[in-house]
Chain A
Amino acid sequence: MRARLVPYLFLSPAMLMLTAFGILPLFVAAFVSFTNMNLAGLGNWSRIRFIGTTNYTELFSDEEFWQSLGNTAFFALIGVPGVIVLSLAVALMLNRGSGRFHRALRAFYFVPAITAIVAIALVWGYLYNTQFGLLNYLLSLIDVPPVQWLSDPLMAKFSVILVAVWRGTGLNIIIFLAALQAVPKEYLEAAEIDGANEWQRTIRVTVPLLKFAVLFVTITTIIAWLQFFDEPFVLTHGGPLGATTSVSLFLYNQGFAASQFGYASAGSVVLFLIIAVITALQLRSRRTNVDY
């Protein structure tokens, strides 16, 4: 009996944290989403009214919400493949050596992941600046007219994606590198003896063996991009004309700038459901596949 309880004892700290900061807030948000909770309601709970599904019907007729959903889809469709392909490619190349140079490179690629977002915003803000930015200066050397990196609605989307990809690869490179260490040398040797060249060994042996790492990175990256927030928040504040307002930023604006907590909670419940469905679909698709 006691032996059966031990695992739960070890799990309990994590479970407690998850319950207190993950599951409980979820239920509270679901509850709040049916009320008109705002700053006044926060000060005095007697002013909170149940308003049924009004928040949801308003949300679905809110153009800004749909724009932010569209933006988030755009970010994820470009950003997720970008991060995965780039970090896998870099990890494969870094894995080819273990000398001092390669170790230094690993640290180099990890730096963006641990740099404070405020510093990133400042530096990239200067790089992207239309008048004085380095990027436009370099372009001017080859007679390209100034690009409105953060002012043009479409360009701004790509600009924030670039920063996020640059920042997001570091951690995933480390995960892929760790998985690459676990690829058995025997398989690669056997393939080599069979006459497979390096490209074939990478594509046919190494990458399939990384399947679990790829799945893990894909799921976490998709979730991260659906919750895309930091880069547009610090670089563009969601502008120009809402072109870089992600769902999370929309919720933040509704919740913390406008104090419409009920409305924002309704939005966060919708976002949660979208993420839950997408993640469930991914896990399901994995189950049907063969394992090595």
Chain B
Amino acid sequence: MSRIKTMTVAAIAAATLAVGASGCASSPATSSGSSANPVSGPVTFWVMGDSATKFQDLVKPFTDETGIKVNAVAIPWDSIDQKFTTAVASGNGPDLLQIGISKLRNFADSGSLAPLQDKVGDYGSLAAENFIDGMAGDDTKVNGDTLSVPWVSDTRVLFYRSDILNANGITNPPATWDDLRSDAKKLTARGEGQFGYYVPQWDSALPVAMTWGQGGSVVNNDGKIDFNTPEFQKAVDLYTGLYGDKSVPTDSNFDQTQGFVSGATPMVVSGPYLAKAINDAAPELKGKWSATTLPAGETNTSLLAGSHIGMMANSAHQDSALKLLDYLSKPATQLEWFKINSELPAVKAALSDSSLSADPLNAVYAKQLENAKVLPLVPNWDGGVGKDMLKALNSIALTGSDRNSALEQLYKSTSDVSTK
């Protein structure tokens, strides 16, 4: 209710005009001359989350070798939009920044990222074929430009409590969504407050992965969003069916980790961060849970998420920044980053390295990453298409809205959205 928030939208516009003007005036002075210098710097890197110190450790050998200083700045995940907006408006951004794949299109549309397709050829580690399939090159080009290179990967797999499944006569984790539904029913029958599975109501990737699993797509041949397909209908059946079976909790603030640890929801599709959360919250559960690749319909395509790194077009230290990108994409660096920050590599050679795949969980992630796709690169997936889709599905599942009219509404609101 604070007054400050009130006119934020207006104030930002004013700030834009003021700061933007001064930014334009001062930028030529800062950029002149320095880009020719091979060791220009420091290169400012915006790293997401709280891993700036770790990142600084990661690049120390790079600085020692090249003399290029790196300045890592931690940006909290939930303020990246504002920070980037300010950077675009003021022209005073970082040289490199980490970009979540779901934000890639938005950031690219701002026109402030430097096209890299003519430059990556000079750096061996940046070739598209080095990275996980579907993550680099043509698959993440926006308007024909390569505006970023992959940095870390992430995917979704099925986590399950082997002890609870076994105790209820389920010897193997479900391999298909049909099995998952019947297993979930069985587990829900354990009693009051017990469920079989958990659907995070904010997770827009799950219904899309369900559609992919049915062999479908949410993008049609013209590159436009299209939910009006038989495969999506099957995904809706599955999503709302889990609620219809009463196999999933209906609270929006149900805690995924606690639900898994307490056993209330012994199966859930989530990312590697859940494994870390479980280990932190309940180390004593070790050996009683595991993970496997996503249940299948016709296939078991999962979400390919993670982050890219983009370079700001007005960076004054582009050569140094590209050298740093090259260093960050080397398998050794990627493995080191996994070791110190538990983020999965985006480089194939690092992902298949024996030091990583020796851990069975990592082997599952690596296997799933072989069959994973990025969400459609449309503007504002999280706040637009993804939100509309979740709203339609959740209103059918939770408040009993009419299925046909909710889906018609979804088709209507998303039919103009294009990946091009």
Whether A42 lies near B20 (C-beta < 8 A) is yes
Q: Say whether, besides A229-B2, A242-B391, A29 and B251 are in contact (CB < 8 Å).
A: no
Contacts of A248 in B (CB 8 A): 5-6
Report how far A42 CA is from B107 CA in the complex, Å: 12
A25 to B10, CA, bound (A): 5
Cα A264 to Cα B13 in complex, Å, equals: 11
**A225 on the B face (CB < 8 A):** yes
The total number of A-B Cβ pairs within 8 Å is: 145
Q: Measured between alpha carbons, how far is A12 from B394 in the docked complex, in Å?
A: 54
Contact of B5 among A26, A131, A252 (CB under 8 A): A252
The answer to whether A131 and B14 touch (CB under 8 A), given A239-B252, A252-B5, is no
Beyond A28-B14, A151-B250, A241-B394, whether A43 also contacts B2 by CB under 8 A is no
A29-B9, A42-B88, A255-B8 given; name 15 further pairs at CB < 8 Å.
A21-B7, A25-B10, A32-B13, A42-B20, A42-B89, A43-B112, A130-B253, A131-B249, A131-B259, A151-B251, A151-B252, A164-B1, A225-B1, A241-B399, A261-B9
A40 CB–B CB distance under 8 Å: yes
**Interface 0/1 of A2-26, CB less than 8 Å to B:** 0000000000000000000110111
Q: What mask results when residues 354 to 397 of chain B are scored 1 for a CB within 8 Å of chain A, else 0?
A: 00000000000000000000000000101110000001001100
B74 to chain A, nearest CB (A): 18
Q: Which of B254-269 contact A (CB under 8 A)?
A: 254-255, 258-259, 264
Chain B interface helix/strand/loop/mixed: helix
Q: Quick one: which of A121-179 are within 8 Å of B by CB?
A: 125, 128-132, 148, 150-151, 153, 164, 167-168
Q: Are B12 and A261 in contact (CB under 8 A)?
A: yes
Report Cα–Cα, A229/B9, bound state, in Å: 13
Please report the C-alpha to C-alpha distance between residue A189 and residue B384 in the assembled complex, in whole angstroms: 64
Is A88 part of the contact surface with B, judged by Cβ < 8 Å? Answer: no
Whether the pair A257, B1 counts as a contact (CB closer than 8 A) is: no
* Chain A, residue nearest B259 (CB): A131
Chain A residues in 8 Å Cβ range of B394: 240-241
Give Cα A168 to B109, complex, Å: 41
Asked if residues B253 and A151 are in contact (CB atoms below 8 Å), the reply is: yes
- In the A-B complex, the 10 residue pairs with the smallest Cβ-Cβ separation, listed nearest first, are A29-B10, A25-B10, A130-B251, A39-B110, A151-B252, A25-B14, A257-B383, A43-B112, A224-B1, A151-B251
What is the chain A residue whose CB lies nearest that of B84? A39
Query: Which residue, of A37, A164, A248, has the highest number of chain B Cβ atoms within 10 A?
Result: A248
Chain B residues with Cβ below 8 Å from A131 are: 249, 251, 254-255, 258-259, 264
Tell whether B282 is near chain A: CB-to-CB under 8 Å.
no
Q: Is the CB of A240 within 8 A of B252?
A: yes
Residue B189 CB within 8 A of the other chain: no
CB atoms of A241 and B395 under 8 A apart? yes
* CB-contacts of A208-235 with B (<8 A): 224-225, 227-231
> What's the least CB distance linking B305 to chain A, in Å?
18
- Listed in ascending order, the chain B residues whose CB lies under 8 Å from chain A are 1-3, 5-14, 16-17, 20, 81-82, 84-85, 88-89, 106-107, 109-112, 201-202, 249-255, 258-259, 264, 380, 382-384, 391, 394-395, 398-399
* Interchain CB contact under 8 A, A44 and B111: yes
Residues of B within 8 A of A236 (CB): 252
CA gap between A242 and B398 in the complex, in Å: 13
CB-CB under 8 A from B2, the residues of chain A are 229-230
Give every chain B residue within 8 A of A286 (Cβ-Cβ): none
**CB-defined interface of A249-283 with B at 8 Å, one 1/0 digit per residue?**
00111011111010011011000000000000000
CB distance from A215 to the nearest CB of B (A): 19
Cβ-closest chain B residue relative to A243: B399
CB distance from B95 to the nearest CB of A (A): 16
Q: Is the CB of A43 within 8 A of B259?
A: no
Interface centre among A24, A42, A132 (most CB of B within 10 A): A42
**Minimum distance in angstroms from A58 CB to a CB of chain B:** 12
Are B399 and A153 in contact, CB atoms less than 8 angstroms apart?
Answer: yes
* Residues B11 and A21 in contact, CB atoms below 8 Å apart: yes
Contact A264 B9 (CB under 8 A): yes
Smallest CB separation, B4 vs chain A (Å): 10
CA distance A127 to B241 in the complex (A): 31
Contacts of A225 in B (CB 8 A): 1
- Would you call B7 and A268 a contact (CB within 8 A)? yes
Q: Find out whether the CB atom of B20 lies under 8 angstroms from the CB atom of A45.
A: yes
Instruction: Name A265's contact: one of B5, B10, B112, B253 (CB within 8 Å).
Output: B10
| Neighbouring A residues of B106 by C-beta, 8 Å | 39, 259
